[in-house]
Amino acid sequence: MCLAIPALITSVEGTTARAEIGGVERTISLALTPEARVGDYVLIHTGFAIGVVDEEEAQETLRLLEELAEFYPDEVEVSQFPNLPISQSPNLPISQSPNLPVSQSTNEVH
């Protein structure tokens, strides 16, 4: 099962914590993430935190996406693309096609 939701740790007591998401609080186990602290966001899966969300990486990801966004002007609607041969993609000089930001991710593994 791949379903896990990010929740905010509001209090910690030993290996359990109270975590809040969308205004709902629940008790979860920190057995798998003993490093989690109040104020951290953790991914909750079947009552356990399985990982701590890295806030800096989250911001970095959004920043890279914003950088990518600058290559594609707002007024170009995605729906126009299927009608165009790729080589005639408007407003995008192919020779300047950006290396996708994800390749600059600090966690990339080659």
Under the rule (CB under 8 A), what is the footprint of another protein?
Answer: 1-6, 8, 21-22, 29, 31-35, 41, 43, 45-48, 50-51, 53-55, 57-58, 60-62, 65-66, 68-69, 71-72, 74, 76, 78, 81-82, 86, 89, 92, 94, 97-100, 102-103, 105-110
Smallest distance from another protein to CB 57, Å: 4
Give whichever of 13 and 74 is closer to another protein, judged by the CB atom. Answer: 74
Smallest distance from another protein to CB 30, Å: 10
Give whichever of 11 and 57 is closer to another protein, judged by the CB atom. Answer: 57
Instruction: Single out the residue of 105, 110, 93 nearest to residue 67, CA to CA.
Output: 105
Write out the two tokens for 61: 């990801």
Whether residue 18 contacts residue 27, with contact meaning beta carbons closer than 8 Å, is answered with yes
Q: DSSP for 51-62? A: EE--HHHHHHHH
Instruction: Single out the residue of 101, 76, 81, 80 nearest to residue 91, CA to CA.
Output: 76
